[in-house]
Amino acid sequence: MVDVSLRGLSKSFGSHPVVHGVDLDIQDGEFVVLVGPSGCGKSTILRMVAGLEDITAGELILGGIMANDLSPKDRNLAMVFQDYALYPNMTVASNIGFGLKMNKVPAEARERRIREIAQLLQLSDYLERKPRALSGGQRQRVAMGRALARSAQLFLFDEPLSNLDAQLRTEVRTQIKILHQKLGMTSIFVTHDQTEAMTLADKIVCLHGGKIAQTGTPEELYNEPKNLFVASFIGSPQ
């Protein structure tokens, strides 16, 4: 787990600027939610943190280290996307343990870790199933399990609940909340959904047109929105 700092982080695609000087400090163990309407730059910020997109200007600091030019695999992060891709021909256990096997973790330690994670995510009864025999919510939990198994220092979530129906969305959201309470993994979670932001975040970063409109606790944004955009987006009566 690690402190993360974004200092004036900016991104242009060609001559088209989409992220404008984002400053953000994330403490070890904090759950930070980037929220804002579609197209405001949330995924681009996350992809710069992950190393999947070059940083046009500014600095990314991971655990005290200037990380702008670190390759994605040297950043020790786990990412959970909306379109989770599980291996269809592997069991749930093998899907969760895949990264451990790649890293040559011995079979016994691997199995112990898989069982631990399955218990955390309430997947213990499904370990021998193939993904097609699971519900959407269970599959998304397997994707999270795979990310957790790797003991990454930072978790990045890009709208992981968007493809789930309303009931499953609530179920998986609760699971993420419980997981964070238990494990305290430093997390950046991207969503356009205010309810997700309000229920999950230690700190919300509300984005508008590639800029930070306001940063604060859910209560601060709800009770003291800095401007009309934040007020209408977070839904506080003005």
Q: CB of 192: closest distance to Mg ion in angstroms? A: 8
Q: Which of residues 12-71 bind ligand ADP (CB under 6 A)?
A: 13, 18, 36, 38-44
Q: Which residues contact 200 (CB under 8 A, 6 or more apart)?
A: 31, 33, 173, 176, 177, 180, 189
- Contact partner, 40, from ligand ADP, Mg ion, none, Cβ < 5-8 Å per class: ligand ADP
CB-nearer residue toward ligand ADP: 16 or 182: 16
Interaction partner, residue 87 (Mg ion, ligand ADP, none; CB < 5-8 Å by kind): none
Q: Does 43 bind Mg ion (CB under 5 A)?
A: yes
Of residues 42 and 110, the one with the C-beta less far from ligand ADP: 42
Closest CB to ligand ADP among residues 19, 117: 19
Least distance in angstroms from the C-beta of 178 to ligand ADP = 26
Q: How far is the CB of 14 from ligand ADP (least distance, A)?
A: 7
38 vs 181, beta carbon nearer ligand ADP? 38
Q: Binding to Mg ion by residue 138, rule CB under 5 A? A: no
Question: For residue 134, what are its two tokens?
Answer: 């699971």
Cβ 38 to Mg ion, closest distance in Å?
7
Sites of contact with Mg ion (CB under 5 A) = 43
Sites of contact with ligand ADP (CB under 6 A) = 13, 18, 36, 38-44
